[in-house]
Chain A
Amino acid sequence: MSGDIVIEAHGLTKTYGRATAVDHISFSVERGEVFGLLGPNGAGKTTTILMLLGLTEISGGDVRVLGFNPAREPLSVKRRVGYLPDTVGFYDQLTAADNLRYTARLIGFKAIDREKRIAAALDQVGLSDFADKGVGTFSRGMRQRLGLAEILMKGAQIAILDEPTSGLDPHATSELLAIIRGFKAEGVSVLLSSHLLERVQSVCDRVALFSGGRIALMGTVAELGRAVLGGGFVVDIEAEGAGLAERLALIPGVSGVEKTGIAKLRLHADRDVRPEAAAEVVAMQGRLKYLGVQEPNLDAIYTRYFATRPDEEMPMKEGTLHAA
């Protein structure tokens, strides 16, 4: 990562009358980074995205996208940024290629360039065979892929994806995430919003947890895990052997041993104690059936975070009206 910043927001604010949809948020996205905006519906993710694109007025704060101010230079921003809206729509009466042709004309690509870009983009998302089919017959997953093809065709430096995986089946989700990883490989920065955590976790370098129009937490998934779930590792063991729990409790760094089932134990430690635990079981001639460490999981972080701060979820309700 070169460390150069493509999106930078300081105190970004959006108010609708008296309701505040986005409340003084600050974040930055680096080149080639996949940045996730996570949070419940109505937390201000889409509003933030629309402000970055200059599609809605900014009530306060400062934002730069590739060095441009989206409120004053929206064309420069929109020429370089690709956007996949929440439940993207296409003109059903036109074919997939014609839909892209229209966009390509709006961007201002020359005729020869246009066809090459469209063919390459459709190929990259696996829709080449459907180029001349009407979009009316497309499934949701295909529409999302066509939306990504549009961003590829545009040659965008930043791809902004709003809920790209919502409503997709697991197979379509994996395909989509593969394409998003492809963006990263080509050095395109990706800003994606989602409320589906586990799938998104696998592609995001850093995430910002939205709550009631504010960024509650920001960092890598591991960092968030330490901050919310408390430091330390959780190691699950399934093994047989008398007095195993007591022996394991003596391993340096283990702070507690918990019995979670028949022959199942859970260790809380300040580091990864799997090698020592395995050695202990083997030394006791025990039968080791399972040994695993729990990775910090966004779902757990998310649930824990909002469970411990129910009061912070309240202001979100006002925003729901506008952000639905």
Chain B
Amino acid sequence: MRREGSAFQGLGVVTLKELADHLTSIRLFVLELLVMVIALVTVYLATEQIRETTAEDPFLFLKLFTTTREQSPFSFLFFLSFLVPLMAIGLGFDSVNSEYNQRTLSRILSQPIYRDALLFGKFLGALVTLAIALIVLWLSVIGLGLLFIGIPPGGEEVARIFVFLLVTIVYAGVWLALALLLSILFRSAATAALTCLGLWLFLYVIWPMLAGQIAQIIVPPDPRYTALGLQTPGTAVLEQILSRLSPSTLFGEVVVALLDPTTRSLGPIYLSQMQGAVLGAPLPIAESMLIAWPQTVGMVATAILLFVIGYVIFQRQEVRA
């Protein structure tokens, strides 16, 4: 009962068409402009701070992405973690339902391709667009950093920045898969966009706060720890597990491990585990990646899961509007 031919026939054509559509759209131009302005401002603030405080740091260049002027939370990383979802949602929220609304779907599917190619192509087209935008952003930040600080990044710094870029593309992929899923579920682009933005706000802003509350309800804090001003281990662990359900938390943890080479663990840690550790000593990049590995795999898995759900629903949908 195999169907004839390849499921990917026409994939390249669809991907290129989507890519061309995105790159010429006003939507992407606006999003990219927003991101570039923010990059410029945050990098400027970061260099101000770096010039004032840091005398010697082997990973000075990485500070560009994470530091900002004192008392200001607006680091490049801060903006990135919530603007990347916005860009992904902006590109994906109407990808399938617009085909229904423009009544192009049945015409395109009557060409010798499978639905698989159309859906894969839409995902890939948007992902490549996001990747291009992010690469441009990265190069701009590095370029500005070179101009402002005047010190070139070292080999390991470049490697870490590159892995950081790849992880950010994966993070974008998660939100893109979510936007694609909602564009399959809802015929109205506005409903899909609003639902997507709602989920984004919930997962990014509300969930991390809720996670703490829920953890305290399930595992009430031990008064002995509270008296010492410490978090109860059970509560802390549960809170972290819950908050990791949000891709934003996962992304934040990966980035901390990658951009701060002194990070040794992403969870609560017992003092006994710290025995023999030289505090503040940087880890090699491979070790940092190892620390961030579960979170990265978690993000990839989330993206695949969301895409597969969308894929199954799309395969079963009737083509007529």
Asked if A pairs with B, the answer is yes
Task: Say yes or no: is B13 at the interface (Cβ < 8 Å to chain A).
Answer: yes
| Chain A residues whose CB sits within 8 angstroms of the CB of B51 once the complex forms | none
Residues of A in contact (CB 8 Å), total 34
| Chain A residues whose CB sits within 8 angstroms of the CB of B40 once the complex forms | none
On whether the beta carbons of A53 and B104 are closer than 8 Å, the reply is no
| Contact status of A55 and B110, CB under 8 A, knowing A89-B102, A93-B21, A102-B13 | yes
On whether the beta carbons of A85 and B13 are closer than 8 Å, the reply is no
On whether the beta carbons of B3 and A74 are closer than 8 Å, the reply is yes
On whether the beta carbons of A56 and B318 are closer than 8 Å, the reply is yes
Task: Say yes or no: is B109 at the interface (Cβ < 8 Å to chain A).
Answer: yes
Q: Mark A53-79, 1 if CB is under 8 A from B, else 0.
A: 101100000000000000011111011
| Chain A residues whose CB sits within 8 angstroms of the CB of B110 once the complex forms | 53, 55, 78, 81-83, 85
Task: Say yes or no: is B9 at the interface (Cβ < 8 Å to chain A).
Answer: yes
What 5 pairs across the A-B complex have the smallest Cβ distances?
A89-B103, A83-B110, A106-B111, A79-B112, A85-B106
A105 to B106, CA, bound (A): 17
| Chain B residues whose CB sits within 8 angstroms of the CB of A72 once the complex forms | 1, 3-4
Q: Which of B10, B103, B110 gathers most chain A CB within 10 Å?
A: B110
On whether the beta carbons of B13 and A105 are closer than 8 Å, the reply is yes
Interface of A is mostly: mixed
| Chain A residues whose CB sits within 8 angstroms of the CB of B112 once the complex forms | 74-76, 78-79, 106-108
Residues of B in contact (CB 8 Å), total 25
On whether the beta carbons of A75 and B107 are closer than 8 Å, the reply is no
On whether the beta carbons of B318 and A85 are closer than 8 Å, the reply is no
On whether the beta carbons of B106 and A75 are closer than 8 Å, the reply is no
A interface residues, Cβ below 8 angstroms from B: 46, 50, 53, 55-56, 72-76, 78-79, 81-93, 102-103, 105-108, 147, 150, 322
| Chain A residues whose CB sits within 8 angstroms of the CB of B13 once the complex forms | 102, 105-106
| Chain A residues whose CB sits within 8 angstroms of the CB of B229 once the complex forms | none
On whether the beta carbons of B103 and A85 are closer than 8 Å, the reply is yes
| Chain B residues whose CB sits within 8 angstroms of the CB of A50 once the complex forms | 106, 319-320
On whether the beta carbons of B21 and A78 are closer than 8 Å, the reply is no
| Chain A residues whose CB sits within 8 angstroms of the CB of B111 once the complex forms | 78, 103, 106-107
On whether the beta carbons of A55 and B109 are closer than 8 Å, the reply is yes
- Closest chain-A Cβ to B115's Cβ sits at a distance in Å of 9
Q: Which of B162-182 contact A (CB under 8 A)?
A: none
A84 to B108, CA, bound (A): 10
A106 to B113, CA, bound (A): 7
A-B interface pairs (CB < 8 A), number? 82
Q: Which of B10-27 contact A (CB under 8 A)?
A: 10, 13-14, 17, 21
Q: Which residue of B lies closest to A323 (CB)?
A: B320
Q: Mark B88-131, 1 if CB is under 8 A from A, else 0.
A: 00000000000000111011111111100000000000000000
A86 to B320, CA, bound (A): 9
A72 to B1, CA, bound (A): 7
| Contact status of A106 and B104, CB under 8 A, knowing A46-B320, A55-B319 | no
| Chain B residues whose CB sits within 8 angstroms of the CB of A78 once the complex forms | 110-113
| Chain A residues whose CB sits within 8 angstroms of the CB of B5 once the complex forms | 75
On whether the beta carbons of B113 and A89 are closer than 8 Å, the reply is no
A78 to B112, CA, bound (A): 5
On whether the beta carbons of B107 and A88 are closer than 8 Å, the reply is yes
| Contact status of A83 and B318, CB under 8 A, knowing A91-B102, A106-B10 | no
A232 to B21, CA, bound (A): 61
A87 to B321, CA, bound (A): 10
- Closest chain-B Cβ to A315's Cβ sits at a distance in Å of 20
**18 further A-B pairs in the complex, CB-CB below 8 A; given A79-B112, A91-B21, A106-B14:** A50-B320, A53-B110, A55-B319, A72-B4, A78-B110, A78-B112, A85-B106, A85-B107, A85-B320, A89-B102, A102-B17, A103-B111, A105-B13, A105-B17, A106-B10, A106-B13, A106-B113, A147-B107
| Chain B residues whose CB sits within 8 angstroms of the CB of A102 once the complex forms | 13, 17
Q: Which residue of A lies closest to B4 (CB)?
A: A73
Q: Which residue of B lies closest to A105 (CB)?
A: B13
A74 to B5, CA, bound (A): 9
| Chain A residues whose CB sits within 8 angstroms of the CB of B320 once the complex forms | 46, 50, 85-86
Q: Which of B9, B10, B107 gathers most chain A CB within 10 Å?
A: B107
| Chain B residues whose CB sits within 8 angstroms of the CB of A147 once the complex forms | 107
On whether the beta carbons of B107 and A150 are closer than 8 Å, the reply is yes
A74 to B4, CA, bound (A): 8
Q: Which residue of B lies closest to A16 (CB)?
A: B318
A83 to B320, CA, bound (A): 13
A145 to B5, CA, bound (A): 31
| Chain A residues whose CB sits within 8 angstroms of the CB of B104 once the complex forms | 89-91
A102 to B21, CA, bound (A): 12
- Closest chain-A Cβ to B183's Cβ sits at a distance in Å of 16
| Chain B residues whose CB sits within 8 angstroms of the CB of A76 once the complex forms | 4, 112
A216 to B1, CA, bound (A): 34
On whether the beta carbons of B318 and A75 are closer than 8 Å, the reply is no
Q: Mark B20-49, 1 if CB is under 8 A from A, else 0.
A: 010000000000000000000000000000
A89 to B98, CA, bound (A): 11
A81 to B9, CA, bound (A): 17
On whether the beta carbons of B102 and A322 are closer than 8 Å, the reply is no
A60 to B60, CA, bound (A): 69
A92 to B320, CA, bound (A): 19
